[in-house]
Amino acid sequence: MSSDSVDYGALVWSDDLVLGIEEIDAQHREWIALVQAFERAVRDGGTAEEVRRTLAAAVAYTESHFADEQRVMGEADYPFLDDHVAQHDLAWDRVHAFASADGGAGGDDALRESLADFLPQWLMLHINTADRQFARWHKGEPPCAPADIEGRVFGDIPV
Ligand SMILES: [Fe+2]
């Protein structure tokens, strides 16, 4: 890990995640920070208000980040945009289902725990695989190998 690495606990930003596309890299860094804040609120037994607030911020940023990233890919005429959008949509459906079922006050702790497990892992895998594929294509490099099946924490959601 480089000296620029920031340890967010289970979810870690490091220079290894830099794709070389400034707008996307800046958003990934912010996205990780927001998801980590939610994860921390759940893990550390934050107040219901802290959990609700950090979840809302993470979910809102996830949606706007996906839209921005897809716009960047579309403007670049990325040939695999449809596949990337499908991956975002599958993850978004999962996140949205968790977030909706949470229901605010009196929400289910197990649901929050599940989302605090899912989102950080999916995010790290997605940046390191699908987003990296785009970065390589953007730089004119050959595509890297498909994600190892071992890395597919959630078999029903491609990364
Ligand atoms: Fe993406």
**Cα(81) to centroid(ligand 1), Å:** 10
**Cα(47) to centroid(ligand 1), Å:** 31
**Cα(105) to centroid(ligand 1), Å:** 31
Enumerate residues with CB within 5 Å of ligand 1 (an ion).
Answer: 69, 131
Three-class DSSP category at 121: helix
Helical axes 81-102 vs 109-126, angle rounded to 10° = 160
**Cα(147) to centroid(ligand 1), Å:** 14
pLDDT at 149 (0 to 100)? 40
Which stretches in the chain have pLDDT values below 70? 1-10, 101-108, 142-159
| Domain extents in the chain | 6-151
- The correct answer on CATH 3.30.470.10 for the domain covering 6-151 is no
What percent of the chain has a predicted confidence (pLDDT) above 90? 34
> How far apart are the C-alpha atoms of 78 and 94, rounded to whole Å?
25
* Structural contact between residues 84 and 77, judged by C-beta atoms closer than 8 angstroms: no
